[in-house]
């Protein structure tokens, strides 16, 4: 049967769907959704609307939300994933920044807090409804179902390429108010791995992978965050020789499913404390080669970010190793992954929750990864102090291991002086003298 006949009369044009947006509404576009057909129609309505907030969890979209004639009617808020266009606009302070942990995205609505904005209109991508009327959220579950529960209006743009998965990764068509056929393709999420590697220091990535590998043990549960640096590490042998690992991860990196197929002994999930035998995540990053393998994979489940990134759930996974990407770190161990100075790079994602949960877990390890320099080697990512305006994403109290291409610094249990010495030891050699001088100024009489 043609899926259009399963829509229960909810299939409308994008222009009709966005008529449901009212003055003063909070419109939310969650992680893993770029319903560009619907968003283009909303853009066309901007002159007729006032005091609307557009919360972009997925800031890859290149539509002109930040132009004054649009933002004076619909103010964009950026949260997690930030593309080049959005980053440039935010550098000019032409939009607002949403702040909050992944697992708290619907707390205000759930607790009936009158002082916290709740989502009014949710714009998402969905698969066509199946014979049961279920629409898949595709390769990214995140908090879509929770947002749909509290939104006044749910508008789904039908993406026929969306995969289906096991777990809790669908919504019934009866819970969607409008369905719109996709006419404008979404913005590509990322370049190919090979394109990204062409911009990276491959020798540094190989060295980082070699340093991280000994921190991963057989039978561990693995959690990985976002970031092009850590995503490349499995390609350079980070998991080589390991057996019976399991996934409980915010994001499964591209190429991981093919690796699981080619090395079935490597990831079995047999020794996980929770969800034993299943690989659990909230975001499944895919290459073209992965997509067919991922569709209804028997061992992969997508669940809410409110479950996957819950500090209590992470801490309950014994032998968990969390690997995350940092932009910079200061000599006391504070991690910055959002802003450097006033320059926005990304939102916090789940990093604050993951770092705490992994450190609290029995035999848990939290690993922060970063290349030692930025801007072509001109700047050390290990800094004596952060410049004004830098946002601390993970407090120093919950920073455990830090890895660069020059080695591993173990910070747990160390004093300020000991941390400074350990971090200087993994900085780029050309910055070590300067960092040592600054450390003596900051931590010694």
- Give every CB contact of residue 297 below 8 A, 6+ residues apart in sequence: 165, 166, 257
Among the listed residues 350, 377, 276, 285, the one whose alpha carbon sits nearest the alpha carbon of residue 319: 276
231 carries an active-site annotation: no
Residue 355: other Cβ atoms inside 10 A: 27
Strand 26-29 and strand 121-126: the pairing is parallel
Catalytic residue among 125, 157, 231, 250: 250
The single residue listed with the structure tokens 């409308």 is: 12
- Tokens linked to 323: 């690997």
Active-site residue set: 250
């Amino acid at each position: 049967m043609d899926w259009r006949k399963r829509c229960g009369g909810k299939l409308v044009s994008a222009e009709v769907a966005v008529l449901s947006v009212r003055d003063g509404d909070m419109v939310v576009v969650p992680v893993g959704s770029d319903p560009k057909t619907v968003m283009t129609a909303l853009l066309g309505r901007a002159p007729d609307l006032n005091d609307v907030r557009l919360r972009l969890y997925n800031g890859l979209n290149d539509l002109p939300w930040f132009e004054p004639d649009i933002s004076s009617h619909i103010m964009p808020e950026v949260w997690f994933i930030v593309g080049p266009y959005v980053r440039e606009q935010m550098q000019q302070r032409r939009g607002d920044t949403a702040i909050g942990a992944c697992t708290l995205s619907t707390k205000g609505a759930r607790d009936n807090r009158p002082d916290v904005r709740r989502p009014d209109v949710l714009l998402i991508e969905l698969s066509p409804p199946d014979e049961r009327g279920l629409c898949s959220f595709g390769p990214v579950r995140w908090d879509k179902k929770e947002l749909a529960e509290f939104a006044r209006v749910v508008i789904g743009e039908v993406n026929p390429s969306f995969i289906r998965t096991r777990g809790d990764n669908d919504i019934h068509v009866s819970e969607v108010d409008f369905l719109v056929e996709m006419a404008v393709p979404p913005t590509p999420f990322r370049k190919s791995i090979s394109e990204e590697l062409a911009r990276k220091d491959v020798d540094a990535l190989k060295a980082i992978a070699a340093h991280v590998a000994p921190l991963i043990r057989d039978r561990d549960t693995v959690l990985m965050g976002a970031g092009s640096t850590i995503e490349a590490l499995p390609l350079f042998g980070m998991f080589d020789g390991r057996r019976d690992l399991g996934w409980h991860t915010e994001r499964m990196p591209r190429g991981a499913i093919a690796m699981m197929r080619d090395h079935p002994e490597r990831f079995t999930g047999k020794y996980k404390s929770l969800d034993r035998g299943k690989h659990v995540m909230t975001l499944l990053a895919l290459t073209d080669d992965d997509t067919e393998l991922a569709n209804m994979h028997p061992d992969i489940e997508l669940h809410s970010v409110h479950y996957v990134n819950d500090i209590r759930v992470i801490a309950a996974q014994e032998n968990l190793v969390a690997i995350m990407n940092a932009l910079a770190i200061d000599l006391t161990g504070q991690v910055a992954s959002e802003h450097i100075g006033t320059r926005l790079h990304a939102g916090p994602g789940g990093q604050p929750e993951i770092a705490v949960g992994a450190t609290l877990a029995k035999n848990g390890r939290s690993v922060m990864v970063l290349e030692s320099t930025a801007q072509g080697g001109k700047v050390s990512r290990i800094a004596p102090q952060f410049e004004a305006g830098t946002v601390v994403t993970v407090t120093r109290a919950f920073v455990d291991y830090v890895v660069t291409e020059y080695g591993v610094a173990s910070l747990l249990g160390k004093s300020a002086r000991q941390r400074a010495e350990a971090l200087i030891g993994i900085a780029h050699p050309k910055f070590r003298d300067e960092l040592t001088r600054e450390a003596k100024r900051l931590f010694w009489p």
